[in-house]
Structure 1
Amino acid sequence: MIPSEFEYVAPTSLAEALSALADAGEDAKVIAGGQSLMPVLRLRLNSPSTIIDLGRIEELRGVRDDGDALVVGAMTTHHDVMTDALVGQHATLLAEATATVADPQIRHRGTFGGSLAHADPAGDLGAVAVALDTTMTVAGPNGRRSLGAEEFFTDIFTTALEPDEILVDIRIPKHTGWRAHYEKFHRVSQSWSMVAVAATVDVDGGTIRNAAVALTNMGAVPVRARGVEQALVGQSADIDVIRAAADHAAEGAEPMSDTNADAEYRTHLAKVLTRRAVVTATGV
């Protein structure tokens, strides 16, 4: 199908983009890589009056070291995130999860910030952002503000972004030396996750000093599996410990039932995949 008619604006700076967004009003859409928005437009599930393309704004791209954290521009492509040396060294979980996103073509066009702002519960990077305690910087007519990942995601396909705001960058605390794994379950290669688990652990001398675990597609928003984390921290990196901890995976989650799986099956998957993810991350 062909999208309905719209005005197209391609600013070259964040200031121009915010001005264009303010002028267009609430019936405008911001496009990043377009991998999620374009199918929606073609099916006419959304018919905005104006499309504001962020693709020419270089200040929104790239990864930089900011002391105890990395800062990733919202328009940085999945491919550039996945292959960045700083990400590989200080945010291994992000590199691992990004490598599982769709296919190479989409990873070369899709963007980290676009994926997060789209807020699909089955999207792979929301759980990673939650597990790594990331902070989103958003800009609007009143300046910039910061949002923690868990407050950024508010509902299915919904974030705390106001209609006149743009996601600028994502700040990721360094997890240098932490081991990580992203375990996902899907019926068809390169498709959306039915359930997935983002896990990263800090292991010292066979003891799990710290752990961060979050779930994909176990509710309207990414779910932090704090029960699993609490059961792991301070314990030996042992298969029995991990198996017992994984039994807490679905606590606090509200899995949905749909044509892919019912809530009970997703709860089962969460436990199994959590065990696999932590076992792989710890190297047990």
Structure 2
Amino acid sequence: MIPAAFDYIRPASLDEACHVLRDADASGNDVKVIAGGQSLLPLLRLRLAYPAALVDLGRLPGLRGVEDRGDHVFIGALTTHDEVLRSPAVREHVPLVALATATVADPAVRHRGTFGGSLAHADPAGDLPAVAVALDCVFIARSAEGEREIPAAEFFADYLETTLRPGEVLIGVRVPKLGAGWGFHYEKFTRTAQAWAIVGVAAAVRTEDGSIAEARIGLTNMGSTPLRARAAEEALRGLSTAHGDSGVTIPGRVHDPVRDACGQAAEGASPPSDLHARPDYRAHLARVLTYRAVRAAGS
């Protein structure tokens, strides 16, 4: 299909972009920000979005790159997925970001799509939002009034909606370094290769003396926003990372307390129903994939 007509605006600076967005909101016009365009363009073509104007941030200076800033890694909003994957700082200090980014679509999309654009698009089926909430990332937004920090837990408001205010632009994300003792894994179930996740699980597990001291679990496509599997996180605390307990069996298999804890992954979630999966199937996938992700991260 052909998108509806829209105006195209390419600001020369971030300040100009913020003023354009603020003025558009004041006048009641629906304006969308575009960077890599890998998520927005399909919506335009299908006429699921028909803004009055597009504000192109793709060539603005200073919003691209990865920096090691001591206790966190800062990723500029216009950094492409491919640049994130090739960053030594990401691979060494925040590997969960790299693991999830490697599953985003295909190489062509990863060379054009941007880290900040994927997060600001706020699709709960996207891979990076679940990672952001699992790692307690902090989003940095800029407006004509200055900068604002938004914790990941407060950034995602609803399906394709964020808490960015009118006139605000996402300029980067702080990803905390979790330090020694942590393991990471991203487990994703898709209908076909390179497709959106039917369900995905981002897991970070810290072990001490053979037991799980702390777990962080982010769920992809289990609600209108990315979710933390809080019940499973709490149930996992203190459990042994050894596989199973040979002293107890249930219907023909070795009892595994970690599996039981991961069985609480879907508690409090409201998984959607669509052509690909019903809510009960997504809940089942969340339990199974959480177990796999936690086992892989814990090992």
- The TM-score, its normalising length taken from structure 1, stands at 0.95
The aligned counterpart of 2:145 is 142
Alignment check: 8 A CA contact 2:157 2:163 kept: yes
The aligned counterpart of 2:176 is 173
Return the match for 2:282 from 263, 266, 275: 266
Aligned residues: 283
The aligned counterpart of 1:81 is 84
Alignment check: 8 A CA contact 1:91 1:176 kept: no
Matches within 5 A, 1:142-221: 142-177=145-180, 178-221=182-225
Is 245-254 or 226-235 further displaced after alignment?
226-235
Shift of 1:44: 2.4
What CA distance in whole angstroms lies between the structure 1 residues aligned with 2:57 and 2:257? Answer: 47
What CA distance in whole angstroms lies between the structure 2 residues aligned with 1:74 and 1:249? Answer: 30
The aligned counterpart of 1:237 is 241
Shift of 1:23: 3.6
Amino acid across the alignment from 2:241: A
The aligned counterpart of 1:56 is 59
Is 17-26 or 187-196 further displaced after alignment?
17-26
The aligned counterpart of 1:4 is 4
Please, which runs of 5 or more residues in structure 2 have no aligned partner? 244-255
Secondary structure of the equivalent of 2:110?
helix
Shift of 1:70: 1.2
The aligned counterpart of 1:277 is 293
Shift of 1:91: 0.8
Deviations 1:139-175 (A, max 9, x none): 1232221111111111111111123211111111102
Alignment partner of 1:33 is 2:45: no
The aligned counterpart of 1:92 is 95
Is 139-148 or 260-269 further displaced after alignment?
139-148
The aligned counterpart of 1:14 is 14
What CA distance in whole angstroms lies between the structure 1 residues aligned with 2:206 and 2:174? Answer: 20
Shift of 1:6: 2.2
What CA distance in whole angstroms lies between the structure 2 residues aligned with 1:207 and 1:12? Answer: 53
What CA distance in whole angstroms lies between the structure 2 residues aligned with 1:191 and 1:128? Answer: 18
Secondary structure of the equivalent of 1:60?
coil
Q: 1:263 to 1:38 in 2, by over 3 A?
A: same
Amino acid across the alignment from 2:258: I
Deviations 1:184-207 (A, max 9, x none): 111101101111100011223322
What CA distance in whole angstroms lies between the structure 2 residues aligned with 1:60 and 1:88? Answer: 20
What CA distance in whole angstroms lies between the structure 1 residues aligned with 2:88 and 2:185? Answer: 17
What CA distance in whole angstroms lies between the structure 1 residues aligned with 2:12 and 2:63? Answer: 10
Secondary structure of the equivalent of 2:197?
coil
Deviations 1:215-238 (A, max 9, x none): 101111111011121122232213
What CA distance in whole angstroms lies between the structure 1 residues aligned with 2:230 and 2:22? Answer: 39
The runs of at least 4 aligned residues of structure 1 exceeding 4 Å deviation read: none
Alignment check: 8 A CA contact 2:236 2:262 kept: no
The aligned counterpart of 1:131 is 134
Return the match for 2:231 from 227, 230, 235: 227
Is 228-237 or 265-274 further displaced after alignment?
228-237
Q: 1:257 to 1:44 in 2, by over 3 A?
A: closer
Shift of 1:265: 0.8
What CA distance in whole angstroms lies between the structure 2 residues aligned with 1:225 and 1:138? Answer: 27
Alignment check: 8 A CA contact 1:208 1:233 kept: yes
Shift of 1:105: 0.5
What CA distance in whole angstroms lies between the structure 2 residues aligned with 1:156 and 1:265? Answer: 20
- RMSD over aligned Cα atoms: 1.4
Alignment partner of 1:247 is 2:250: no
Secondary structure of the equivalent of 2:203?
strand
Amino acid across the alignment from 1:253: A
Q: Identity of counterpart residues, as a percentage?
A: 55
Higher-Rg structure is 2
What CA distance in whole angstroms lies between the structure 1 residues aligned with 2:175 and 2:278? Answer: 33
Amino acid across the alignment from 2:289: L
Is 61-70 or 184-193 further displaced after alignment?
61-70
Amino acid across the alignment from 1:247: G
